[in-house]
Structure 1
Amino acid sequence: MTRFAHAFTFEDFIDSTKRAATQDELFGILQSTLLNYGYDRVIFSIVRDIDLGPEYSQHGVLQNYPMEWHDYYMASGYREIDPVHAYVAQTSDVFAWDTLEEKLGGLTAKQKLCLSEAAEAGIRNGICAPTANTLAKLSGIAVATTEEKDAAHIDHDLLDAYARQFYKCFKRLALKDAPLPVRNITLSSREQQILRWLALGKTDEEIGGILSINIGTVRFHTQSLFKKLEVHNRPYAVLKAIRLGLLDPQISL
């Protein structure tokens, strides 16, 4: 079993999450921190987030809920019925699941069944902390306990702070290796040639000799290339061209 850094104070949590190198490590820090408050079940879900790819829009992006429950939940269509999902779309405040009937003005029989069966599966004493609630972004973290107990407790403002710090760091990791949005950048054949030789470390003089053009022409096309890529030097031009798919990354090796 993998062991993660054990963050206890909020300051420790911030430091640990900032240093997290993977999503699993980040989630492990969240789990170990919330365990201090008696919550051994955690789930992070994204309904929508325009900054992330569609593969992230799912119930339980990261979670330690029982897999049997997760599979049953999805097969039963509970994602569309779940009163937690219904209310998280209406609020930015942390809320306890046992207040949902009051907050929603009543629950349907299917919604009550969803919560009842969750408790039977070991998802009890639930609290949800929305991490984003806008037209473009909707996500949240829920915590719960396996056993029915009164000892589990966390201040709602503190849980909100933990959840938002987690979400911020999760997005940093999720976007770190993501490709830049496709942009309509068209390079001329001469700009493509010069970009290739820039990636191979050639000087203006060397590029001019290779392409049989004068240095002024090389510099003219180089500046045009910089303008299109919105960069100011060669290394960034090469890096951005690779990230935009305009240059084979192997060519600069």
Structure 2
Amino acid sequence: MLELRLAQGNLLKKVLEPIKDLVNDANFDCTPTCLSLQGHTPMAFVVLSLRAEGFEHYKCDRNISMGMNLTYMAKMLKCADNDDIITIKADDDESDKVHFVFENPNQSKISDLEMNLMDIDSERLGIPEGEHHATVRMPSAEFSRICKDLSSIGDTVEISVTEEGLKFSTTGEFASANIICKHNTKVEKAEEATIIEMNKAVSLPFALRYMNSFIKATPLSNTVTISLSSEFPLMVQYDIAEMGYIRFYLASKIEEAEYEQ
């Protein structure tokens, strides 16, 4: 028996928005302590982790894997108002279906939608672990704005961390642009700070089309953490309130070129 109740139902919509851009079908893996998801393309990888403590009600008697088409799931969630409470239910005697129940706060309207589950054969991939050369924590809205601005000029962004700061560069057919963000903690609110930690200078190119999918997670968090290393994929992390996180991993354009050879 599975029953997960999320008081802030709109959070589920926000979580799904960036993921469905990258992955069509994925398994939601539920354990007694956590709801998680992994999905990947040849160059990008996404990991979602939501702790049981973040739900208003969380019941999962045994490990369950629910394969879903994320596009259809997103369409179903559009039937819920932003302030609706969302409950996800799956019965042991109905293993091929999942129910989404939407309740408005005063319980004057309750919607029960049923979705067919898919049998998705996928194994959980190991995430490369190690110390990154540089880690930057900055306002997520600023990072989003930079990615969007650079996308109007080129299709590749060079991300560099040096003593000078965090630098985003792109070159297009008719123009080029460089944006530098300095380490800055002299701000009124902690989430407005830009904190740069560098063990070693690093500079790598990435495809902006993927970055523009990642930044759709901006509504989830006021801040974003960007971790760079020449030995591991780029990691972009958005913390989700007190519930967990969504992480995106992206191979550099150098690795992409090697993959295509």
**TM-score, normalised via structure 2 length:** 0.21
Structure number with the bigger relative contact order (C-alpha 8 A, sep ≥ 6) is 2
More strand by share: 2
Between structures 1 and 2, the one with greater helix share:
1
Structure whose alpha-carbon radius of gyration is higher = 1
TM-score after normalising by structure 1: 0.22
